[in-house]
Amino acid sequence: MDINWTSELAELLGRLSETQKQLLGLLAKKREFLMQRDHEGLAAMASEESLLCEELKSCHDQRQHLLEQAAIAGLPSDSIRSLATALPEEQSQTLRKPIDESIERTSLLRHESVTQWVVVQQTMLHLSQILEIIATGGQPQPTYGKGGSTENSGALMDQAV
């Protein structure tokens, strides 16, 4: 089986590039929904996120297949960059820019994803603290222990429970 490495790699990089751009757009929209506290908008994005995740998985599978084929052909198979570098200079040159752009977008995606994850985790912590304040009636002692006075009873938890 003779593989045209340049066209195969270019096709993979094109798919990956388009998917990364769509995902960056989706994350920008998600950031706006987070800032607006629009939970309905966030929930509506779930299907689009799933589709993009499936496409990224498909790109990963295609990458893995190409690297396996490269190993069989005796070419470098540790990364797409090393495979492209092993190709003749003119072919390698045409793939260098799309590979570098893909790596840069991956870094942006990672940064945006971690940022949004931190925001959501901080929100969850804040909500947890608010629930604790409500549950304890703002008192430092928990209302769910035995004994104590009923003056510490919170709106969500009662000492009788």
In degrees, to the nearest 5, what angle opens at C-alpha 101 toward C-alphas 66 and 27?
100
Q: Return the pLDDT at 150.
A: 52
Q: Which domain holds residue 104?
A: 5-112
Q: Return the pLDDT at 145.
A: 59
Tell me how many domains the chain contains: 1
What values do phi and psi take at 77, rounded to 5? -130, 20
Question: Are 99 and 88 a contacting pair, CB within 8 Å?
Answer: no
- Please check whether residue 54 lies inside any domain of the structure: yes
> For residue 9, what pLDDT band results from cuts at 50, 70 and 90?
very high
Using a pLDDT cut of 70, give the percent of the chain over it: 86
- Please check whether residue 47 lies inside any domain of the structure: yes
Q: Return the pLDDT at 158.
A: 54
- Please check whether residue 150 lies inside any domain of the structure: no
- Please check whether residue 32 lies inside any domain of the structure: yes
- Please check whether residue 13 lies inside any domain of the structure: yes
- pLDDT of residue 148 exceeding 70, the answer is no
Query: Which of the residue ranges 32-41, 73-82, 104-113, 152-161 would you say has the lowest mean pLDDT?
Result: 152-161
User: Is the pTM value of this prediction over 0.85?
Assistant: no
- Please check whether residue 78 lies inside any domain of the structure: yes
Residues 6 or more apart in contact with residue 94 via CB below 8 angstroms:
6, 10
- pLDDT of residue 130 exceeding 70, the answer is yes
- Helical residues (DSSP H) of 37-150, grouped into ranges: 39-44, 46-72, 80-86, 89-136
